[in-house]
Structure 1
Amino acid sequence: MEVSSASWLVIALTILAANLPFFNDKVFAVVPLKRHPGDPRTVRRKPFWLRLVEMVVLYFAVGAAGFALEARIGTPFPQTWEFYAITACLFIVLAFPGFVVRYLRKHHT
């Protein structure tokens, strides 16, 4: 895989992973939450703290994928704390569209 296509793949994975917690109510888009015991028809909504936990786990998963692609292309560069601080902030910024759709946009029912 070329350097250019690997970097675009990591960018696409990052955008998808950053918005995944906000576009569904399943944990990691796979595990559904339990229903309310009193009313089995209602579906539980995923709490905000669980969405943040998902974002942290997905941040590290995308980071591991990026590191694996970099190691496959050549020698991976050593990273310091500044790199991780910047990429974490970028991950949060890329999650903004999902946050807007989930919490700030008015839903008509």
Structure 2
Amino acid sequence: MQNLLLIGTLAALAANLPFLTEKILFVFQPKSEKKLFFWRVLELGFFFVLVGFIARLIEGQVSPVHAQNWQFYASTLSLFLVLAWPGFVWRFFWRKPGL
């Protein structure tokens, strides 16, 4: 149960990371002043794979790792995108004063 809570919290945080800063992966400053939406999508994919890898490592410590089909990855990607919704709304829909 604790592992599930850990993975869920990690996924929720990682899904919103691309929308928090204008730097790519918190390290590289893009050439343009603002980070393009393309970079945010790539970061989202990177964090999805990273969280999946961490979840697989945790599962391997608890029990034998089960083989997954494409349906598993499609549903987890959909859930990851739903978890990214608050960061997306904060970045693109809320009007900030002075902008």
TM-score, length basis structure 1: 0.85
- Which of 86, 98, 101 matches 2:87? 98
Choose between structure 1 and 2: higher helix proportion. 2
Equivalent position amino acid for 2:27 in 1:
V
Alignment identity in percent?
Answer: 36
Say which SS state the counterpart of residue 20 (structure 1) adopts: helix
Distance 1:49 1:32 in 2: 14
Q: How many residue pairs end up in the alignment?
A: 98
- Which of 7, 11, 15 matches 1:14? 11
Greater Rg by CA: 1
Q: Gaps (5+ residues) in structure 1?
A: 37-43
Q: Gaps (5+ residues) in structure 2?
A: none
TM-score, length basis structure 2: 0.93
Distance 1:54 1:74 in 2: 30
**CA RMSD between the two structures:** 1.1
Q: Report matched runs for 1:28-107 at 5 Å.
A: 28-34=25-31, 44-107=33-96
Runs of 4+ in 1 over 2 A off after TM superposition: 30-34
